[in-house]
Amino acid sequence: MSLRPNSLKFVGTKVLVDGFFFGPIDLLVFFTYMGLSAGKSLPQVQEDVKRDFIPAFILEAGVWPAVQVVNFRFVPGRYQLLYDNFFCLLDSSFLSWLEQQEDAFWKKWMASFLKFEEQETEC
């Protein structure tokens, strides 16, 4: 079985690998680097990653698959890097904004929702 470029299986495989393998690694590296470069201690960085990782992953899971389907299916190979880098620039801006929203209402809500799920599983 070979995957032909631009086939549904080819595009789907690339999008899945990008979203479930590279996406979480990218977020972990981004938030760790941002925290350490701001002079935070490792425990502070760990708390920031706990606070920001899930909201960022959920929000990005709604955007990146569509961006990558267009990239892998319709953008000519020689322009795919440029296309991807443009959206990476937007993504880095978004993640920087998200990281600065330390105690935003929606982050507290998501954290309380996740803690509620943890309490249900403990019972």
Spatial neighbors of 87 by CB under 8 A, at least 6 apart, are: 64, 67
Question: Angle CA(102)–CA(107)–CA(108) in degrees, nearest 5?
Answer: 100
State the Cα–Cα distance between residues 35 and 61, nearest whole angstrom: 23
For residue 1, pLDDT beyond 80: no
- Pairwise pLDDT comparison (20 vs 118), residue with the higher score: 20
For residue 123, pLDDT beyond 60: no
Rounded mean pLDDT of the chain?
A: 85
State the Cα–Cα distance between residues 97 and 37, nearest whole angstrom: 16
State the Cα–Cα distance between residues 72 and 8, nearest whole angstrom: 10
For the stretch 7-59, pLDDT in tens is 788 888 888 888 889 889 999 999 999 999 999 999 999 988 988 888 889 88
pLDDT band at 121 (very low <50, low <70, confident <90, very high): low
Percent of the chain with pLDDT over 90: 39
Spatial neighbors of 24 by CB under 8 A, at least 6 apart, are: 53, 57
State the Cα–Cα distance between residues 63 and 87, nearest whole angstrom: 10
Kindly list the domain boundaries of the chain, sorted by start residue.
8-122
Residue labelled with tokens 């899945």: 16
